[in-house]
A and B are shown apart, each in its own frame.
Chain A
């Protein structure tokens, strides 16, 4: 019996019931099952490794180093602190907006290794070594803007502007995935981004125009 198996057998059913940890492991095993289906025997080892107990941190502050817009930034945050909160309150990067704080409006969209995520649904301590790109870091330098930012200005793809940073992060990520998107692609890419002023038609126009002018800025992996 490996050490991993041993621990599992101890925790599986301490009082004959299902412990919270056991339940979570069960959920993990379902995922592991999926990994086995996909990855064959090699997947078994990976799935087992994924079950290794993570280090316990908190409830007090912990020190985390975030790679934000190309620079390493150390922040002391409680483990419950979301990435959005860490960016806004610890690092002063207030371009990222919080609107619903539960992943239903995408106003807080940032990139992790180039993939758009809701920063209100991501804990700062979970970011790890992934590169964070925020709206403040989208433009290639101080002089130039990202083509999507340029197009948003030119086509007036903003009113009050509160959804704009999240909207731009979603649209710029789309152009990284697909250089020549269709209108449907843009609608899909922004389907999670809520805009109460109703600026969607201009967002579509601007994003398609940015694509035409070769809308690549940063890929967000750096």
Chain B
């Protein structure tokens, strides 16, 4: 029952009561309603929890902990499984090829589908003739889209002439799809669908799109729906032409102060204009589904980062109950932020399955993947920073423009708003619509762009003030984690040998640079887990959460194993299925912090149930029992006379029923959140994550080739659960950052509006030869906000890399890079002074 229905039922009760009982006074009803709406504060206990950074400063602080929460975990050094380097529990499946991805699903009678997409960047569709495709003997169904997901939509639909088919707003926009008995036949039949277009003027270049009189992507203000793939900016923003904004606030509201006043207080002002390119996610497994429509419900195998969000969107589109839609993601081949919603392919495959009465597989090809499934917006950022002679920042002013194509959410202000202490901050972020595929969230949306500008300008400020870049950051950065990370990293990279800019003689010049990250403690409260124990001693964990490669399957096994005194391999993991308790979507480095506390709490509840049942056999009460190393025993030295024990298996055999189970959801953080959004079950946690990266580069000043030779990446993610997998993710963040800084670039031809490199050879991604020595260092930071105190590393690990490379290139050459990718052509131009003039202080 929805809230509205509930209200109605309550209000109607007095009037409709047929029993002759006196009507309930209205005031009492209101009172009861208020009481029902106001959640009682849970009873808490004052609990001392470990807090601080191991190796730097550790103490204990008191937190108000709800009574049903398990006791706090000690530091990792005192634990058996958590914090240890545990090989992935699904490793064997992955190395033998047995792991089943969506692309590998094969159902009886399954059909293959291909999308029909627009070759034009902007057009009205006059007609669609499917007769030739229908006549193909292997074709079983055709569906034409009546609504395109992902694109922003006009607030006022009457601003645009009505159209029979959705207006085409980018080259590659899905129009229809065909299902046939083989992939080759589906490909053929898709080419037989005849679409007549009326091409319209278009603009794919952000600078051109900002000009007055530029072809309009939308003839009025437009917003991107929240479920459109995890990206999207705020709704209701003012819009003029293609420019939407500026947005001045951030998650904490509008930043404080008056920048004009701040700049007046400054002794030194540095400024620059920085440009970043569009990057596509390019996950190896393309977006896609196998949709299986049956009269009783829909099952969809989906390559997604959010089984729950795909279910919700499909239920809405097809007007099904959520219980009628099952989404399964056993393994998925990478997402990086672009795989949250059902997608046009998901809707199309479901329509086709419904029409054909057979399962339909629709996996995008590589070209469609580049064109229509999301990207990181580009940016042009004017950044200005004022400081006193002692380094104190007095003002930060950022004006940014970026294009998310037909989508929104190209802002870059996160780092400027949140990294450093400054009393006057102003950020103005504007989106620019272009006729290009809509952006989607991409690993720390806005942050690699924002850091590229901010961290270079902070370095420049240090140079102007004649202080070391690390010393300046020590002064203006209040994060304890980053302070420790700078210290550790500087020692490892041997920062003291860093020379003055362009000190190397000869053509190849080397340099060292540093940059740092800020990211947030984001929590999805709708994160649940069930843990089961069966009489034969087998333990299962069930959750809808999906493993996108970060290794949450293994982390969950570790958390449950730690609580029950078992090994991770003793736990059977059943995840990535909406038939199980709701799991969080995996994005924003949220998964670990959201789901591991629920897993521990469920395991703890299960443990209490088990101990309750076996305590009599051990002549004691449950609170005097411990579970360690596969043994349940009295909490006494084994030499003690009263010591009594049994194996975990023997204990399980004593269960009164065949199976016991316990379920838990993510509770609020101890002490609450900065803010909480009940509707989305979203909590914005107190505090931030950091991360500092040091980069050594070699720049060939004759060829313009930049080579990253070594990266020292020092990071924090709360309590590390599995350092082995965390290292892998940090490596990945660094490599994506190198790839972003030096190679990747989505190039749209301004004359045709088409992408000229929609493949994996001309869209260049860093490979083995571009991989430098990467040294990862994890610090342990405890804040005692939940039962595991663990967080994610996906976003922070990729935020500072491009900025650190740029700072290293400056140290090598004495020339600042205002634009990425730093291709040889860009670098040579900058060395000749072409790009350098963009920086006012250069």
Contact = CB atoms under 8 A, between A and B. Distances in A.
Nearest to B725: A156
Contacts of A81: 184
Contact of A94 (B88, B104, B548, B734): B104
B732 A197 contact: yes
A101 interface: yes
A107 B760 CA distance: 12
Interface in B44-102: 87-88, 90-92, 94-101
Given A101-B365, A156-B725, A160-B333, A198 B760 contact: no
Contacts of A160: 283-285, 331-334, 548-549
Contacts of B375: none
A134 interface: yes
A206 B814 CA distance: 39
Residue among A85, A95, A102, A191 facing the most chain B CB atoms (10 A cut-off): A95
A154 B87 contact: yes
A196 interface: yes
A18 interface: no
Contacts of B680: none
B284 A107 contact: yes
A101 B366 contact: yes
5 contacts: A95-B97, A165-B95, A190-B767, A194-B767, A201-B774
Interface string A126-158: 000000001110110000010001001110101
A104 B285 contact: no
B771 A78 contact: no
Interface string B749-777: 00000000001110001111101011000
B96 A149 contact: yes
Given A196-B765, A199-B731, 14 more contacts: A92-B106, A98-B103, A99-B760, A102-B759, A145-B92, A153-B91, A158-B91, A159-B550, A160-B283, A162-B284, A188-B768, A194-B765, A195-B284, A200-B768
Interface in B241-290: 282-286
Contact of A200 (B87, B100, B735): B735
B728 A159 contact: yes
B728 A94 contact: no
A201 B728 CA distance: 8
A164 interface: yes
Contacts of B333: 97, 160-162
B284 A194 contact: yes
A75 to B, nearest CB: 13
A97 B103 contact: yes
Interface string A106-138: 010000000000000000000000000011101
A95 B548 CA distance: 18
B96 A199 contact: no
Given A99-B366, A197-B334, A158 B284 contact: no
Contacts of B734: 198
Contact of A197 (B331, B549, B771): B549
B80 to A, nearest CB: 19
Contacts of B331: 160-161
B99 A161 contact: yes
A145 B92 CA distance: 9
A68 interface: no
B336 interface: yes
Nearest to A95: B97
A156 B284 contact: no
Closest 9 CB pairs of A and B: A95-B97, A198-B735, A162-B333, A160-B549, A198-B732, A94-B104, A161-B94, A153-B91, A135-B97
Interface of A: 78, 80-81, 85, 88-89, 92-102, 104-105, 107, 134-136, 138-139, 145, 149, 152-154, 156, 158-165, 168, 186-188, 190-204
Contacts of B394: none
Contacts of B736: 196, 198
B731 A202 contact: yes
Q: For this complex, into which size category does the number of interface residues on chain B fall? A: 35 or more
Contacts of B418: none
A152 B284 contact: no
A94 B284 contact: no
A191 B769 contact: yes
A94 B106 CA distance: 10
Given A145-B92, A159-B729, A80 B285 contact: no
B514 to A, nearest CB: 20
Nearest to B105: A94
Nearest to A206: B95
Given A159-B550, A160-B334, A203-B768, A196 B106 contact: no
Residue among B97, B336, B759 facing the most chain A CB atoms (10 A cut-off): B97
Nearest to A100: B760
A187 B771 contact: yes
B87 A158 contact: no
Contacts of A104: 759-761
Nearest to B86: A156
Nearest to A184: B769
B644 to A, nearest CB: 38
Nearest to A134: B97
Residue among A92, A96, A201 facing the most chain B CB atoms (10 A cut-off): A201
Interface string B562-597: 000000000000000000000000000000000000
Contacts of B773: 201
A194 B760 contact: yes
Given A136-B97, A194-B765, A200 B284 contact: no
B485 interface: no
B727 interface: yes
Contact of B731 (A102, A107, A190, A198): A198
A88 B104 contact: yes
B309 to A, nearest CB: 19
B195 to A, nearest CB: 24
B801 to A, nearest CB: 11
Contacts of A135: 95-97
B778 interface: no
Residue among A80, A161, A204 facing the most chain B CB atoms (10 A cut-off): A161
B724 interface: yes
B733 interface: yes
Nearest to B548: A160
Given A98-B103, A156-B728, A191 B96 contact: no
Nearest to B550: A159
A147 to B, nearest CB: 11
Contacts of B548: 160
Nearest to B762: A104
B405 to A, nearest CB: 21
Nearest to A197: B732
B33 to A, nearest CB: 48
